[in-house]
Structure 1
Amino acid sequence: MIKTYLKSIVIAVILLNGFVSKAVQLTEHPKAEISNGIVKAQILLPDLEHGYYKATRFDWSGVISNLDYKGHSYFGTWFDKDNHPAHATIMGPVEAYSPLNYKDVEVGDAFVKIGIGALLKSSNESHSDFIPYKIVDPGIWELKMTTNSVEFIHKLSNGGYAYEYIKTIELVENQPKMIISHRLKNTGLKTISTVGFNHNFLVLDNQPIGKGVELSFPVAVSGSGRGEDDMFAIQGKKLVFLRLLDNEESFACKYLEGLNSVEDFDIRLENHNSRAGVRITGDYKLPRLRLWGNAKTVCPETYINLKVEAGEDYNWSYDYEFYETAE
């Protein structure tokens, strides 16, 4: 059965078929554990008052603090807990979306970010992911849970925009696999147009990034960025790390080019020192792939362009397959 770890009182509304629609924990961060008997994951649940993540950069749903397969771990803390900004103290394959109407509203009015809510525009400066905007309308969050899945439903109507954003994290039965599926329903009158990305904060076995850690693709890729030929090198279909990174270093590629079809959305990260591997695939052609990381995490950032007309909806998904590399 699903485990919900709550240190004090939990308020829950139980629906038919064993689903949980809402869960609020009063003194500590609400979280749930799901398992398919092969993979186990701990998921931090959104809550305006008690939730772990309350900043305004990333979508509040789908924060995975830990995922285990065959004794290997795949997500976790990659940042300095004592010296890190609130917007980046997050874990797992978290996603973010550009604001729908920041440029269209006046200072003092609200703009919308999917998976967060309506935020106060505090100045005429350009929007920044790193500014902690005030949340003036958090929308409504609903949760549905089974033993091996959590479905997040975020509903918002503000400033002429209205949507229902549904994200489901499912551990596939009898497989070492996780699927993150999405459905964005435009329930308002205005077109929803945004750019999203999945940061994929992968932390394999909590080991430092260095030799033996590599990314691989189905085709040759190219790109350049901070740390090239020092921390990492691109070698045809692979990106390999050349040395052990220290705690103050980070690397980045603004664009990794060469992935030109849906079939090319096929990314593997392997740590040959611990034998942990993960394969990430998607069901659309990547418009952009960016790479960022530091001494603890490698983040292949997969982008998506979304345009959903009034009354329409759009679906997309990511598959994560966990495995052990060869000896």
Structure 2
Amino acid sequence: MVYQLKNEQLEIEIAGAGAYRGSRFDWSGFITGITLLEGRHSFCVPESLVPGQGTGGAGLCNEFGILRAIGYEETRTGESFPKLGVGLLTRLDDRKYEFSRDYPVQPFETEVEMEGTRKIIFRTILEECRGYAVSLTKTVSVDENRLTVEYAAHNTGTKVIATEEYCHNFLGIDGNPVGPDYVLKFPFELSPWADEEETLRGLTFGQGEVRWGHIPDRPFYFRLPGFEGERYPWMWELLHRPSGTGVREISRFPVSAAAVWGLGHVVAPEMFYELQLAPGERKTWSRVYEFFTKSPSIL
């Protein structure tokens, strides 16, 4: 089943729970299509263009615990550990947790409520697992040219929840390949680094901008330090210069870390939110995106 949100400016497609069945990304509110109706511009692309490759990501899909899987270290081989937004995963062996590895999943139950054509609510109940339990609600809505994803997490268990959440924004404007026609902007000077220097090949950095000298023929990846999102009018902006079409994230939360990943068809800015919940504690945060198009002559 595909859910659709629509107003006068945006059309959003959201996969039904279970359409994605991997052990990495949140199954609820999995946004697979975004269309800016003025000009019919599209933004969402798959993680990989090759069938069967990658981990199944597409469009705007978030993940909890890419670095800190809840309860994994205390889980024995064959036992379960919780992955927020997904389900109870089975530990396979003595290896460290790997976010890209395929773990057996016992999915959580998710309730879906549509409120007209502009809002949808996903309520996921985390089954108790050795003291870990979180009630998670995700609300997706549209207002003018803005798409908002609101999160509410309530620790209903007896143990502290310590993890992180981010959205893997798989973006490619109108299917145009990544290259000199794109610019990725940040509202501050950049100090990027990468564990492998070759992942920076072909990128240039200056005046808060990232540019590509050619269409990448291999993955690129770099990281940025965290920053206070409330200090800036937006966190990042991706612009396709020939068409004047772009998207920016204008969220207002503390960014604990940031990264950018991509290939020749996709750019994925990733802003991380650190989630710490004591038993009984509840926290909310949201991600807000603006989609726009303007005359290329003013770029």
Give the TM-score normalised by structure 1: 0.83
Match of 1:65 among 32, 35, 43: 32
Residue correspondence of structure 1 range 188-199 to structure 2 within 5 A: 188-199=157-168
The equivalent residue for 2:137 is 166
Q: Alignment partner for residue 156 of structure 1, among 110, 126, 135?
A: 126
**Which of structure 1's runs of 4+ aligned residues deviate more than 3 A?**
224-230, 257-261
Counterpart CA distance in 1 for 2:199 and 2:134 is: 41
Between the aligned partners of 2:108 and 2:4, the Cα distance in structure 1 is 25
2:282 paired residue among 304, 313, 318: 313
Code of the residue aligned with 1:65 in structure 2: it is T
* Alignment equivalent of 1:142, drawn from 87, 111, 115: 111
Distance 2:52 2:127 in 1: 36
In the TM superposition, residue 39 of structure 1 has moved relative to its aligned partner by 0.2
The reply on whether 1:102 has 2:72 as its aligned counterpart is yes
* 1:288-307 correspondence to structure 2 within 5 Å: 288-307=257-276
> In 2, Cα distance between the equivalents of 1:273 and 1:35?
27
Give the equivalent residue in structure 2 for 1:222. Answer: 191
Q: Secondary structure at the match of 1:104?
A: coil
User: Kindly tell me: are residues 78 and 139 of structure 1, through their superposed partners in 2, closer, same or farther at Cα, counting changes over 3 Å?
Assistant: closer
Greater mean deviation of Cα atoms: 257-266 or 139-148? 257-266
Aligned residue for 2:173, secondary structure, equals coil
Q: Which residue matches 2:91?
A: 121
For structure 1, the 5+ residue unaligned runs are 1-29
Matched, 1:280 2:252: no
CA–CA distance in structure 2, aligned partners of residues 256 and 325 of structure 1: 29
Deviation at 1:77, TM superposition (A): 2.7
Whether 2:179 is the aligned partner of 1:185: answer no
Q: Is the 8 A contact 1:219 1:259 kept in 2?
A: no
User: Aligned Cα RMSD in Å?
Assistant: 1.7
Q: How many Å apart are 1:65 and its aligned residue?
A: 1.7
Report the secondary structure of 1:256's partner residue: strand
Contiguous gaps of at least 5 residues in structure 2: none
The amino acid that maps onto 2:246 is G
Is the contact made by 1:208 and 1:295 (CA closer than 8 Å) also made in structure 2?
yes
Stretch deviating more after TM superposition (196-205 or 177-186): 196-205
Match for 2:169: what amino acid?
Answer: N
Paired positions, count = 286
Q: 1:230 to 1:162 in 2, by over 3 A?
A: closer
For each residue in 1:93-117, what CA deviation from the matched residue of structure 2 results, as whole angstroms up to 9, or x when unmatched?
Answer: 2111112100011111110010011
The 8 Å contact of residues 229 and 235 in structure 2, kept in 1 or not, is answered as no
SS for the counterpart of 1:205 is helix
Closer, same or farther in 2 for the Cα pair 1:177/1:260, shift >3 Å? Answer: closer
TM-score for the superposition, normalised by structure 2: 0.90
1:34 paired with 2:5, answer yes
Distance 1:43 1:31 in 2: 6
Rounded Cα–Cα distance in structure 1 between residues aligned with 2:42 and 2:226: 30
Name the CA shift for 1:34/1:135 in 2 (closer, same or farther; >3 Å).
Answer: same
Please say if 1:74 is aligned against 2:43. Answer: yes
Q: Which residue of 2 aligns with 1:24?
A: none
Task: Specify which of 9, 13, 21 is matched with residue 54 of structure 1.
Answer: 21
